[in-house]
Amino acid sequence: MHYQNRLCFMGNQSKTAFFQRIAGHLDRRRTRVSWIVVNAAQREVLRGEYDDADILYLPLSTRSNSEPLPIKINDLVFSDRRLKFMPERGLDYMRAIQRPIIDFLDAGLPTLVVGELTYAYEVLTYRLVQEYLPRVAWVSPFLTRVPAGRFAFFSDEAFSREVWPPPDGGLPLPDIAAADEQIGYVEMNRKHIARQDSAAFLIGKLRRFMSLRDFDPEDPTWKSNSRREKLVKNMRWWVNRRSYARIRKVGLEAITACKGRSVIFPLHLQPELNIDTCGRYWDNQAETILKIWRQLGPDDALFIKEHPVAIGNRGRAWFERLLAFPNLYLLHHAVSVPELLEAVDYVFTISGTMGLEAALGGGKVLCLAPTTYDRLENVVSPTIADFRGPGTIDDLYARLRAAKSDAWSLTDYLAHLERYAYHGDPEGDRIANPDSWRPRNLACIAAALEHVLSEIERAADGGETDTSLVLQV
């Protein structure tokens, strides 16, 4: 078959099956579909539909047959959810899979790689694409938060800059019945919170523990493969949830009673993409909190707020170490976010959604990692060098805002998102948004990918071999 282009999906736990559904809506006469997977069971499922030449399987036991490339793999292993617990084996794995990835993707056709950047093998593939594969492009599709029910493509590690907008007028919606409900980010979180408190969730955990379902020691994404590991992980979660309930918390009145400046730092769920990849080098949240606390004066106060989905991630000792510092408080997780943002003076965030909400409302936001909303005029991005200054937090914010060039108004930002947004939900979260698996949504995602493929193909036909040049916005 004479293919015009190639689309390679990065397998990633449940995302693999979601990508399979999307692939079913692609024009397979024009597009060669390939896979990079790390799970043996998923490879076997894919082999029922695809040739072995279109499946690159990368188990932990992959052996190196060539010299490694100058890529800083220590950085990848340090931040990876599983490999950081086995660094020597992790480094061997990162060395071993470099050449197979390059050889697999360098197939001559204009190629688009689609995936997240959650695990080290995904980030490594992304960096190899950027540095060594000029005819290959990478995109990560993610929900835009605003407008609801839409997504954009990103080609940077922090998912901070949208690329490949839809054609003028947008793509035609597929002629497939749609669900009535449009799920937003807040509603998706609410469903996850409700699920964690349900009997079905606890029963499901027990069943997985007893059956060792998904056991695959060669899969670099699974940290808990043995019953002992699962027992330790789940007991820690259970103990942390109960010990968290005994930690002293304050309400909104503590913010209004603050004599100086009040600052909120919303905690991230961890491990999680937004902090482990987007917030790389800020991912030790306890250290980050203390860096922020050091920016405050004696009458200022720093409030930290646990993400409701993350209750159980951190134990009592973690919080008490921080709360021992003066004017550092744990805000109750049930405090209304709109009321909180109305009361607080500054929002410090790594790359979180509360920062976006504050920015959209005109609040003063200090964002430590690159984000899509850091272009707004009221959002500044401090560095460690900025933290070394002697002034107050007012001085820090004012200085960074005055130095900010090419700041966007809210109107500019919303218009930009509207221009780059596609219809659909590309994240495939079956719990929070089961409608994302419906044919209409899958067809929307496939149509968006085919549009990007056509743009890459057109660039190649025009003699532009370096897709990274075309990706810039």
pLDDT digits (tens, 9 = 90+) for 225-265: 566 777 777 788 889 999 999 999 999 999 999 999 999 99
**120 and 166 inside one domain:** yes
Domain containing 236 equals 187-244
CB 183 within 8 A of CB 429: no
**395 and 260 inside one domain:** yes
**30 and 111 inside one domain:** yes
**320 and 399 inside one domain:** yes
Distance between CA atoms of residues 300 and 344, nearest Å: 11
Residue 18 lies in a domain: yes
**192 and 219 inside one domain:** yes
Cα dihedral sign, 382-387-388-391: positive
Residue 402 lies in a domain: yes
Q: Quick one: average pLDDT of 445-456?
A: 96
CATH at residue 337? 3.40.50
Q: What is the pLDDT of residue 3?
A: 86
Residue 339 lies in a domain: yes
**pLDDT surpassing 60 at residue 188:** no
**203 and 258 inside one domain:** no
**140 and 204 inside one domain:** no
**pLDDT surpassing 80 at residue 185:** no
Torsion of CA 85, 91, 97, 101, to 10 degrees: 90
The residue out of 244, 265, 286 marking a domain boundary is 244
Domain count, the chain: 3
Distance between CA atoms of residues 364 and 419, nearest Å: 26
Residue 93 lies in a domain: yes
Q: Decide which of 208 and 42 is more confident.
A: 42
Residue 260 lies in a domain: yes
Distances (CA, A) of 160 to 143, 272, 277, 417: 12, 16, 12, 12
Q: What is the pTM of this model?
A: 0.89
Q: Quick one: average pLDDT of 363-389?
A: 97
The three-state secondary structure class of 357 is helix
The DSSP code for 85 is G
Residue 442 lies in a domain: yes
**145 and 278 inside one domain:** no
CB 279 within 8 A of CB 351: yes
